[in-house]
Structure 1
Amino acid sequence: MTQDQAEIVALRALGWLAEAELLDAFQSSTGADRDSIRAAAQDPDFLGAVLDFVLMRDDWVEQACTAQSLPYEGLLAARAALPGGNLPHWT
């Protein structure tokens, strides 16, 4: 997956967070408000953080992937293509 493709996946995951009514949880976790989320949505590092958040729970991964018609490993592939995604996974 290219970085451009990964950014699209992450943006769609961000949209899924809003639709799934999880944006407040994301904001609480990151300290970001809606205005800063809008501004940061073009930043590949921020998009990596969006995917990190969604990847915290298997049910979120399943739901976000289903919403995008992605295989379940699609979010991991997208995360790997964004900055910081090449770090080792300990789980």
Structure 2
Amino acid sequence: MFELGGNLIRDRLTREHAETIALNGLTFLAGRDEDIERFLRNTGIDADELRRRAADPDMLRAVLEYILAGDATTTDFCAEQKLDPRQLHAANHVLSGAREV
């Protein structure tokens, strides 16, 4: 679990946990027509390719980067998932190929 009041993450964020956060992010985007359409336009893929590549680490990172790019989107996603935004940043960091944090 993460310590929300301090600056330190208490436990390590595993790659599996980072992927779960990103998959939840994809589900979040899919439930928001405007966001999923913008995400598809920004990535240049269609819905079928997104479904095929949903578990691909590059696609998962793109999902997190999209969510992190907008303050309102970040806030809404973190509130829905009960995540501290630092967890979202940490998940993106892990999926970017960095060591687990």
After superposition, the Cα gap between the structure-2 partners of 1:20 and 1:48, relative to the gap in structure 1 and judged at 3 Å, is same
Deviations 1:36-77 (A, max 9, x none): 001111111110011111111111111111111111212101
Q: Which residue of 2 aligns with 1:6?
A: 18
Cα deviation for residue 85 of structure 1 reads 5.7
Q: Which residue of 1 aligns with 2:6?
A: none
Identity of paired residues, percent?
A: 37
Q: Which residue of 1 aligns with 2:4?
A: none
Matches of 2:98 and 2:31, distance apart in 1: 25
Q: Which residue of 1 aligns with 2:47?
A: 34
Q: Which residue of 2 aligns with 1:17?
A: 29
After superposition, the Cα gap between the structure-2 partners of 1:85 and 1:31, relative to the gap in structure 1 and judged at 3 Å, is farther
Gapped regions of structure 1 (runs ≥ 5): 87-91
Superposition RMSD in Å: 1.4
Moved >2 Å (runs of 4+): 83-86
Equivalenced residue count is 86
2:75 equivalent among 27, 48, 62: 62
Aligned positions of 1:40-55 closer than 5 A: 40-55=53-68
With structure 2 as the length reference, what TM-score do the two structures score? 0.79
